[in-house]
Amino acid sequence: MVELTRLQAKLALIEGNMDKAQELLNNAKTNSLNKGMGRIVNKINMDLEVLSSQFNSWQLIINSNPTLRTRVEKSHLENYIESVVKIIENETEIQ
């Protein structure tokens, strides 16, 4: 569930909704903390730091009205989806 929220945050970023992306990441962080998922919390903290440090860059990107492909490339969405698939595959193998 937390990984899906992180994915939603990436999609919000691609749509140009940085506030929504930050809100989703904060919700994912809270849920992870409540469930004692320390490793995921660290990943979410990194996501939040990257979003914060690249805020101005993303504003410029969005204001330049780039193609969807460009926004997907800038967000590294493909890499993220591949990593989530690996996590799911590993969890399936363990069960």
Determine contact, residues 88/78, Cβ cutoff 8 Å: no
Which of 37-46, 53-62, 64-73, 78-87 has the least mean pLDDT? Answer: 78-87
Whole-number percent of the chain with pLDDT over 90: 26
Determine contact, residues 13/21, Cβ cutoff 8 Å: yes
Determine contact, residues 70/55, Cβ cutoff 8 Å: no
Please report which confidence band the pLDDT of residue 75 belongs to, taking 50, 70 and 90 as the band edges: confident
